[in-house]
Amino acid sequence: MISVRSLSKRHGDRAVLVGVTAEVARGETIAIVGPSGGGKSTLLRCLNYLEGFDGGEVEIAGVTLVPGMATAGPVLRRLRARVGMVFQQLNLFPHLTAIDNITLGPRVVRRASHDVALAKARELLAQVGLADRAGAYPHELSGGQQQRIAIARALAQEPEVMLFDEPTSALDPEMRDDVIDVMRGLARNGMTMLVVTHEMQFAHDIASRVWVIDRGTIAEDGPPAQVVDQPRTAVAREFFSRLRRPPP
Amino acid sequence: MTRRMVLVIAMLVGLVGCSDSSPDHAGTLAAIRQRGEITWGGDVQGGEPYVYEDPDQPSRIIGFEVDIMDAVARRLGVRARMIQCAWSNLMPSLERGDFDIIANGLEATSERREQLLLSAPYFVYAETLTVRTDSDARSVFDLAGKQVATLNQTYAHDILRMLYGDAVKLYEGNEEPYTDLALGRVDAVLLDNIIADRYGCTPSHPTLKCLPYDVARGSYVIGVRKADPELKQAIDGALAAMRSDGELERILRKAALWDARQVEPPPAEGQAIRPRSVDGEMVLQFFAAAWVTLELSALAFLLAVPVGIALAVARLYGSAPVRHAARLYIELFRGTPVLLQLFVLYYGVASLVNLGPVEAAVLGLGLNYGAYEAEVYRGALLAIPRGQSEAARALGLGPAQTLWHVLLPQGLRLALPPMTNDLVSLLKDSSLVSVITVIELTKRMTIAAVDLRGWLLPGLLCAALYLALSFPLSEIARRLERRLVRDQRPLAL
């Protein structure tokens, strides 16, 4: 489903991604962890071409991405119709109700009829447990509710791959479980997912594979039982030990 | 609201004057002799030959009235100094004591005599009718249904108003009525022969002709405060001496103004219209003018909003040449006076595009305010969090779709408070269009102020109507804001 080959990217003199190479099969759920500044979010954003890159190639959901592509055009339209994304900062459209946030993509991009888009949106609202908040505006919703609407919004485009960029980091702890439950359901139903996260619970219990990214490359890649419980590299050991330390 | 009203009143009361010297009516003649100087009010906008800047040395004011006043002063044993004052404010400024006398094409009329002491005439003029050479009009009575024009607040205006009521088109400058006559925007111009000879029937207007007979004659006199009869007497003495020893003739000949009219028996005093009182008709005229103001402002703003959006988008997202063009437009329209832009639109390009005054006003104000709106929208678009456009792009929206469905709706909400500001400001700036002959609220006020011989009542009526227009606009904007901007809580401090 996703094939990343020698992906590299620089910000001026600083190498952000250094020859990242990886494969993801359909239905896998990848937890991407690692110290901040290591390039996790950049990798994710390159997969959606929200950021360009300087070298290498990405094949994702049947679309091939290479350096220097136009930031708008048919290739990116195809890409984004097949790859959904959820952001740390929620990014709901504040001028639209929950249901209008969800139907905007189908109506505008896929030219779905109003009724079809609405029916699909109601289904998705139910799926994320917010069937009763269809008419609410984002500022009337809690952070956790907003993030679930954002997931529903991305799903409305019927993507083959979902990218999550720290979806729970901006949320209060008590809100996170609702969001993680939704993501768990997605993983179970066979959605291909890449999730940048600091949630150990997610990496350990839900992910089928864990990538530890450090200094622009995948330092460790394997099933959670191996990467989380018996990390081989120093950076992974250090990272997980710090996460495991109980709160003071 | 109260503060604004107080401001308006303060402006009306204060700004009609032309200097801040305090009035000292007691023994003005004695004071003049003691000072060694007589001050007289005039307006260089009246232009050649009255009072104007010397083309060879623009800091010097010359004109036949300067010569006459220098001669009068010499005969009083003092110097003369002109004080610049807008012509329509000469009378109130004299009353305030900004200068000692008025000497600037002041026509002797019976109603002026009620307010001022008028000297003996120093010049006899004729109201002259100018038409296009192909016109078959022979007199002012042949102009029913035609568009007649003259300068605001002149005796010619009084005559035309007696004949044709309010259908008369009013100008502020000498050149513009004849330009519009040549362009076919008006059908006849009635003005003093001095103006008609110098601005109308000249080689630069080959299609215009001045009809040979005098529609009316009148005389220019010097205006003196009612409290200064001894000053009027002294001036009359000086004028009589100038007439008998030929100095007046020399001065008028020098300005090519001497004609047979000057030695014929002086004309009867102009029969002017009685001062009006505030009646139902005047109130209706104010309402009609307020409607013009509202209509102009609304249409201009409806033009300014899309122009502003297009410019803001061009500045933010256009290619380099488009960005620069938008920037140039904004700087050009923001950096030059809207008054000038209106002049250019109405008179400057008249030979290419013959816009009507209302069209030119809407276009001028709309294009000008578009430049301001552009910067408001640019700021608003920049204030939208980056994540919004990323989320839209991640959903697959193209650039235009992102702009239309996500950024512009949010930007317009952010822009609402400054837009309301601009709309209210436009409402008042629309008064500038009176320079291109549109009679809107402020113009109506100045006309009424002349008719009523006072500023206070028309000023208050005008202020009340502006408020009555702007308050509902801000109220509509406030409601719109409340409806559109869902989360109006201010950030906690």
Q: Give the predicted TM-score (pTM) of the model.
A: 0.76
Measured between beta carbons, which residues in chain B are less than 8 angstroms from residue A94? Answer: 410, 486-487
Q: Strand pairing partners for B109?
A: B270
Q: Which CATH number fits domain B280-484: 1.20.120.530, 1.10.3720.10, 2.40.50.700, 3.50.50.60?
A: 1.10.3720.10
Asked if A235 contacts A216 with a C-beta cutoff of 8 angstroms, the reply is no
Please check whether residue B202 touches A, CB under 8 A.
no
Q: Taking residues A25-39, what's their average pLDDT? A: 92
* Sequence ranges of the domains in chain B: 20-118+221-262, 124-218, 280-484
Q: Name residues whose C-beta falls within 8 Å of residue B114's C-beta, 6 or more positions apart in sequence.
A: none
E runs forming strands in B68-122:
79-84, 101-102, 116-118
CA distance A3 to chain B (A): 20
Q: What is the phi/psi pair of residue B459, to 5°?
A: -65, -45
E runs forming strands in B141-282:
148-151, 169-171, 188-192, 208-210, 216-220, 223-225
Q: Taking residues B132-157, what's their average pLDDT? A: 86
* Residue B463 banded pLDDT, cuts 50, 70, 90: very high
Q: Name residues whose C-beta falls within 8 Å of residue A111's C-beta, 6 or more positions apart in sequence.
A: none
Cβ A50–B393 below 8 Å, yes or no?
yes
Give per-residue pLDDT as tens, B291-308.
999 999 999 999 999 999
B280-484 matches B20-118+221-262 in CATH topology: no
Measured between beta carbons, which residues in chain B are less than 8 angstroms from residue A154? Answer: 394-395
Measured between beta carbons, which residues in chain A are less than 8 angstroms from residue B484? Answer: 95
Fold annotation for B20-118+221-262: D-Maltodextrin-Binding Protein; domain 2 (3.40.190)
Residue B346 Cα distances to B200, B322, B389, B438, angstroms:
19, 28, 43, 11
Please check whether residue B482 touches A, CB under 8 A.
no
Cβ A94–B410 below 8 Å, yes or no?
yes
Q: Taking residues A145-167, what's their average pLDDT? A: 95
Query: For chain B, what percent of residues have pLDDT higher than 70?
Result: 91
Please check whether residue B490 touches A, CB under 8 A.
no
* Residue B116 banded pLDDT, cuts 50, 70, 90: very high
Give per-residue pLDDT as tens, A232-244.
998 888 888 877 6
Task: Check whether A152 has a pLDDT greater than 70.
Answer: yes
Please check whether residue B113 touches A, CB under 8 A.
no
Q: Considering only the beta carbons, identify the residue of B390, B401, B487 that sits closest to A139.
A: B487
Please check whether residue B400 touches A, CB under 8 A.
no
Task: Check whether A16 has a pLDDT greater than 80.
Answer: yes
Task: Check whether B150 has a pLDDT greater than 60.
Answer: yes
User: Which residue ranges form the domains of chain A, and what is each CATH number?
Assistant: 2-91+160-244 (3.40.50.300)
B306 cis-preceded (ω within 30 degrees of 0): no
Top mean-pLDDT range of A88-92, A225-229, B143-147: A88-92
Q: Strand pairing partners for B250?
A: none
* Residue B17 banded pLDDT, cuts 50, 70, 90: low
Tokens of A85: 């994304």
Reported ipTM exceeds the 0.90 cut: yes
Burial A26-45 (b: 16+ CB within 10 A, else e): eebbbbbbbbeebbbbbbbb
A7 CB-contact burial (10 Å; exposed 0-12 / middle 13-18 / buried 19+):
buried
Give per-residue pLDDT as tens, B325-351.
999 999 999 999 999 999 899 888 877
Pairs of CB atoms within 8 A across A/B: 68
Determine whether domain B124-218 maps to CATH 3.40.190.10.
yes
CA distance B471 to chain A (A): 27
Please give the angle made by the CA atoms of B40, B41 and B47, to the nearest 5 degrees. Answer: 120
Q: Taking residues B445-460, what's their average pLDDT? A: 83
